Structure 1
Amino acid sequence: MTLGISAQARDALENWLASMAALKGASENTLNAYRADVLDFIAFMTNHYAEAQGLGPLSRITVSDMRSWMAHLRGQGVAPRSAARKLSAVKSFYRWLSEREGFEATSVLAARAPRFQKKLPRPLSADAARAVIDTVGEQGRADWIGARDAAVVTLLYGCGLRISEALGLTGRDLPLGDVLRIIGKGGKERIVPVIPAAREAVARYVKMAPFPIGTHDPVFRGARGGPLQARMVQKVTAAARMQLGLPSTATPHAMRHSFATHLLEAGGDLRAIQELLGHSSLSTTQAYTAVDTVHLMKVYEKAHPKA
């Protein structure tokens, strides 16, 4: 894939990725996706111009070139959402590169992303969320595994954690107190209240776990003692939803959606929920809660000093 890309351009790409990891705390999966997206872009420009794309040619990309690339993506059947993600990665790289190399990158930065319909999350009802927790706890092939799965899913629903955050807990977090200090996306720290049901579920699992949990050991372990993988949580949740007859949208991440939605429905403050979820943007939290406009207006009228 890197054929036709100069060593200078390749080094610039890797330096940008390193800065994303250092300054924004981008995960390995995110960095790999960024790398692939930018390399695809450079590979297209290499074929488009029939010449190697070093820093010089990359600095001279035109509006017409950007339109050709977007047309190429459409022709390849790339979905609008994916094309928008690729463009976002390229813009981020160019923003960094233009500042570093001192060239004008307006032709790239001004490119418009294709429009797409954002998929609103589908939270579970409170009863369905509790049924998922109960079911994953019953289907483990060993009692301690059932307790483990129930504890993880309880943290997703009861505390609004991401799977990676729940699985990132270590022995130093035990026993769970009234709050948890979570380091989320981008290295952003937040304090999350821990409900009694979550403390009890984790304590029950820890008591049953057949492996010692040292200060630096992961709390949640696989059947052979290694760190529990996210795909296993997804697998047991899928089995539970099939058993309960729930839709395919009933995923582990939907438990986090449900946490936010049910808090807002109960009269929770949108800003406070934003902090609990670790979102940078309030608009992200609003979409996350999937609560209709009528309910949002009720919250607004109740909370706004001039209402």
Structure 2
Amino acid sequence: MPTKKNIAIIMGGFSSEYKISLKSGNVVYETLDTTKYNTYRIHIFKDKWVYVDANNAEFPVNKDNFSVRVANRVITFDCVFNAIHGSPGEDGFIQGYFELLNMPHTSCDMYQAALTFNKRDCLSVLKPYGIKTATSFYLNLGDTINEDDIINKVGLPCFVKANKAGSSFGISKVNKKEDILNAIDIAFKEDDEIIIESFLDGTEVSVGVITYKGETKVLPITEIVSENDFFDYEAKYLGKSQEITPARLSKEEEDKVTFLAKEVYEVLKMKGFSRTEFIFKDGEPHLLEMNTIPGLTKESILPQQAAAAGISLAELFDNAIEEALKQA
């Protein structure tokens, strides 16, 4: 019988998304096949990196080689399952660390993570490929703010977003000029860069694309119908939205967005999980953003899409590890 692989499931992180990451990581921990893998929950926070055992006892991680000493035994890992949303799991830092250690991990490479985490940079890289996006206006912390310039460029209503944040933290929909400054303050609490985008009125969809058994696979598309004004944190995580899989799209719309999601994944040389958000305007999909560590709880969109494609959570996670080990 082949020896079981040691899998470190990293979760937590440095951003407002850490609670969601802990949920995702625990779902991976509970789901992975224990006849095939020895699984270890690793919490990564600014002040500590620790292995948390079944009794919630904590053992420090040796950052020199990403190992853990438990009693007199040193545990090393064959592969890392990355379930950290936001920094440092989704912005390239942890990918760079594991790449330096030559340790296989389930996420994309360092550059791809850093690029897709930066909404402004990602959209500018994709623009030459003819991929449509909202009209946008950029602000950095300390810039002079002129509300009229912003409205002249993007119009009202508009969305004010933190440039490098996920789970809809730091995002506001602005309907009136006098609300712009407050929305900018909220976004600057999450990041020192802001992107302000024109409002696209149309069907919003989320498209999961993964590397599955060596091939780029586009999962069934999810339509997002938010009870709130837009797909914000409450809509995402507190049940204030309807997520309809498969989405209610015409065949033409479905073909367009499937082609585009696959193109974006391949143009960016992605690996592992991704979930790309689009809004249809005048029948054309406009790209909003790409997430490279999407939520992995049972309620999350990507697992819903995998289920609709006939892929169980256990298969989804197992495939991610198999693909990572192939790269080693």
Q: TM-score, normalised by structure 1?
A: 0.31
The structure where strand makes up a greater share of residues is 2
- Which structure has the bigger radius of gyration? 1
